[in-house]
Amino acid sequence: MLHTPSGGTGSSGAAGTEGRLVSIGTVLNLLREEFPEVTISKIRFLEAEGLVEPQRTPSGYRKFSTADVERLAQVLRMQRDHYLPLKVIREHLDALARGERVQLPAPGQPRDVLDLPETQVPGAPEPETSGAARTDREELLATTGVTEGELAEWESYGLVTAHPDGGFDADSVAVARLVADLGRFGLEPRHLRAIKAAAEREAALIEQVVAPLRRHRNPQTRAHAEATARELAALSVRLHAALVQSALRIRGQ
């Protein structure tokens, strides 16, 4: 919930005194309760990307309306909850402005390889492919709040990998956000090598199971292979989480 400049509390659509224009510093304060990692640089970046268009005073200072602040909050929520590139977010907001209904993944459900519904049947549409929208390097840096040097270090450890066109897909964005979050607890990329190695071993094990299906001539069988791989990946992640929790409980006894 966002607070008004006067200290009162309102809904997320009432981010500021109604009809009043506020400075970028006030916008930062309004957003930080829900988005503690947001910075003035991030707000300026979103403006440069066309996600918000604040008014300007004759002397050049930015002035944001209530609608501007709410739009920024929407953008930040879609980045946080759905890991969407800014291009997709902009298209979504533009569609909403035209009165169109656009469905997004449920909050906390990034559009990646682990989100196969348990009820999905063989032959269902395959997940996003290389044609899906990607996040460019500058946007990834702004999204995660890290420096170019830190991102380069992640790449050197193989934690995040850019496509040949320089962009990052949804999986890489999700990994980058998680690596950044772990970094705030003091975990460095070198500490995460064991996790990456375990993930690669799990992927190799899943590949052994689905490889014969992927080589099949029947398209439905190949589609079933992809669905099976996604389901096995989801089960593997849940097992990993359960094992970590169990190990922590044992160590805490």
pLDDT of residue 53: 92
Q: Which residue has the tokens 């096995």?
A: 232
Say how far apart CA 224 and CA 190 lie, in whole Å: 36
pLDDT of residue 6: 39
CA angle 104, 40, 98 (to 5 degrees): 35
Residue spans of the chain under pLDDT 50: 1, 3-17, 106-131
pLDDT of residue 111: 43
Residues 6+ apart with CB under 8 A from 210: 225, 226, 228, 229, 232
Length of the chain: 253
pLDDT of residue 18: 54
pTM of the predicted structure, to 2 decimals = 0.54
Torsion of CA 245, 247, 248, 253, to 10 degrees: 130
pLDDT of residue 152: 93
pLDDT of residue 113: 33
**Domains detected in the chain:** 1-109 (1.10.1660.10), 137-252 (1.10.1660)
pLDDT of residue 81: 81
For residue 157, give the 3-state DSSP assignment. Answer: coil
Say how far apart CA 53 and CA 158 lie, in whole Å: 37
pLDDT of residue 117: 37
Q: Which residue has the tokens 């589609």?
A: 223
pLDDT in tens, 155-210: 999 999 998 888 898 888 889 989 998 998 999 999 999 999 999 999 999 999 88
pLDDT in tens, 13-24: 334 445 689 999
